[in-house]
Amino acid sequence: MLKNIKRILIANRGEIAVRAIRSIRELGGESIAIYSQADKDSIHQSLADISICIGPPPTEQSYLNIPSILAAVEITNADAIYPGYGFLAENPRFAEICEKSEIKFIGPSSDTIKLTGDKASAREAAIKAGVPVIPGSPPVETLKEALKSAKEIGYPVLIKAAAGGGGRGMRVAHNEQELTRLLPIAQREAETSFGDPRVYIEKFIIDPKHIEIQILADEYGNVIYLGDRECSVQRRHQKILEEAPSPFITDEVRKKMGEAAVKFAKYVNFTGAGTVEFIVDKEMNFYFIEMNGRIQVEHPITEMITGIDIVSWQLKIADGQKLNVKQEDITLNGHSIEFRINAENPETFVPNPGTVKKLYIPGGYGIRVDTHIYQGYKIPPYYDSLVAKLVVWGKSREEAIERGKRALREFILEGFDTTIPFHKKILEDKEFLEGTYTTTLVDKKYLHSK
């Protein structure tokens, strides 16, 4: 149960807001939902103990509007803020304002967010912590600097936004001509997306695996890792299906990656729930790429195979409680897969929000659905296209896949296109079934002609 923070404002919306409300209630706390005018019919503001409208639909006037959110904190007398993912979850200025205002920010310190949120500084921290990194450069500002770094590293190279993520500000250059053309594009995209035009150059690993390690860290120096997640089914660098554990890496490599993640988390003084992400090549060499100092969309699959309630632990750690789970207590039981059900065309992945005309959510043993939608709900066009997360568990990967097929077949969601047909195709894909797929699977096989 919570002892020090009782009234928690959720600075988010959608399924993660619903998830937070549930954990807050189970721990004896009081939940406060904020919502934009576009979300006046959203279920999260109905489920919360208190709800307050903070502005018009555009994110910069609502969910990214720090003064409005702080005003909601003051009006409701909240003790703490739960940021979820996206929006202000990794905004160091927001975390710093909370600290100065003596409002508990449920996540790492602003200093840690500054360090890990900037990919260039996080990379330097990983080097100092003794964690393997991909060969790369410090941030570059001019074409001359970029060309020099790329020549030293060797083509192909990846241009990456220093302050970004989600594939924005990221371009692959195979030679000098491509680097010359793509550098200003990446810089403009980084400036537009993150307000920071800085980019750096990194060696491009061909056909990698994207594997991440979930960690928990309390305020007393205790850090544990909760196994791994395979996140290589991506379209345009954005995840769409995840599974845990990875069918590719060995237990020995998994342990080494977990230990590296813990080492990095300790070096940056991390507290809360976070994820250390790695690129893994065909020889199972792994390289640090970034740390996400927040809850991940795909956290349920880790909960399914470990039995650890990650969101509740976020709250308890922020409450000042000590981790009573040790590394030797963590065992991986079975296999879990998460299917992101997005309001998107299943072939082009173009968003197409609409009204939920018919809804039936699958159930049965080993099935979990995290969602905020209901029949008659009108999905606003202003926000992320995620409408539900279908999570399945099985004693083995094979059983989880078969259960996934059954659940996807049962899932009825009418009124707009969704990614359900895409997920059905992936579960029949030979590379996926063999576990040999890489981050290029979707773009090469399913988007090459789009």
Please state, in angstroms and rounded to a whole number, the distance separating the CA atoms of residues 94 and 109.
10
| Residue 357 counted as domain residue | yes
Instruction: Give the range of the structural domain holding residue 376, as residue numbers without chain letter.
Output: 209-445
- Of the chain, the end-to-end C-alpha distance in Å amounts to 51
Residues 318 and 384 in one domain: yes
Among candidate residues 179, 203, 227, the one where a domain is terminated: 203
Backbone angles phi, psi at 416, to 5 degrees: -165, 165
Name residues of the chain where pLDDT drops below 50: 449-450
Among candidate residues 85, 106, 127, the one where a domain is terminated: 106
- For the segment 7-33, what is each residue's pLDDT rounded down to a tens digit? 999 999 999 999 999 999 999 999 999
| Residue 115 counted as domain residue | no
**Residue among 143, 197, 139 nearest 168 (CA):** 197
Residues 349 and 385 in one domain: yes
% of the chain with per-residue pLDDT over 70: 98
Among candidate residues 151, 175, 203, the one where a domain is terminated: 203
pLDDT at 450: 44
| Residue 329 counted as domain residue | yes
Cβ pair 13, 305 in contact under 8 A: no
Residues 337 and 354 in one domain: yes
Residues 354 and 433 in one domain: yes
Please state, in angstroms and rounded to a whole number, the distance separating the CA atoms of residues 9 and 52.
10
Please state, in angstroms and rounded to a whole number, the distance separating the CA atoms of residues 218 and 269.
10
Residues 197 and 249 in one domain: no
Cβ pair 389, 15 in contact under 8 A: yes
**Residue 303: CATH number of its domain:** 3.30.470.20
Q: Which residues of 173-201 are buried (b: 16+ CB within 10 A; e: fewer)?
A: beeeebbeebbeebbebbbebbebbbbbb
pLDDT at 40: 96
Residues 44 and 171 in one domain: no
Cβ pair 128, 267 in contact under 8 A: yes
- For the segment 69-103, what is each residue's pLDDT rounded down to a tens digit? 999 999 999 999 999 999 999 999 999 999 999 99
Residues 237 and 365 in one domain: yes
**Residue 139: CATH number of its domain:** 3.30.1490.20
Cα distances from 168 to residues 128, 190, 445, in angstroms, run 27, 7, 22
| Residue 120 counted as domain residue | no
SS3 content of the chain, % helix, strand, coil (to 5): 35, 25, 40
Query: Would you call 413 helix, strand, or coil by DSSP?
Result: strand
- Residue 199, both tokens: 């980019």
What is the rounded average pLDDT for all residues in the chain?
Answer: 96
| Residue 356 counted as domain residue | yes
CA angle at 22 for the pair 18 and 24, rounded to the nearest 5°:
115
Please state, in angstroms and rounded to a whole number, the distance separating the CA atoms of residues 21 and 17.
6
CA neighbours within 13 Å on the CB side: how many for 273? 26
pLDDT at 166: 64
| Residue 111 counted as domain residue | no
- For the segment 382-422, what is each residue's pLDDT rounded down to a tens digit? 999 999 999 999 999 999 999 999 999 999 999 999 999 99
Query: Would you call 112 helix, strand, or coil by DSSP?
Result: helix
Annotated catalytic, 294? yes
Catalytic residue among 13, 294, 340, 368: 294
pLDDT at 234: 96
| Residue 128 counted as domain residue | no
Q: How many domains does the chain have?
A: 3
**Residue 69: CATH number of its domain:** 3.40.50.20
Cβ pair 408, 423 in contact under 8 A: yes
Residues 319 and 349 in one domain: yes
Residues 330 and 220 in one domain: yes
| Residue 80 counted as domain residue | yes
- For the segment 222-238, what is each residue's pLDDT rounded down to a tens digit? 999 999 999 999 998 89
Please state, in angstroms and rounded to a whole number, the distance separating the CA atoms of residues 348 and 314.
36
- Residue 242, both tokens: 């995840």
Q: Residue 8: exposed, middle, or buried by beta-carbon count in 10 A (0-12, 13-18, 19+)?
A: buried
Residues 297 and 156 in one domain: no
Model pTM?
0.92
Residues 326 and 374 in one domain: yes
pLDDT at 448: 56
Residues 236 and 374 in one domain: yes
Residue 206 CB neighbours (<10 A): 11
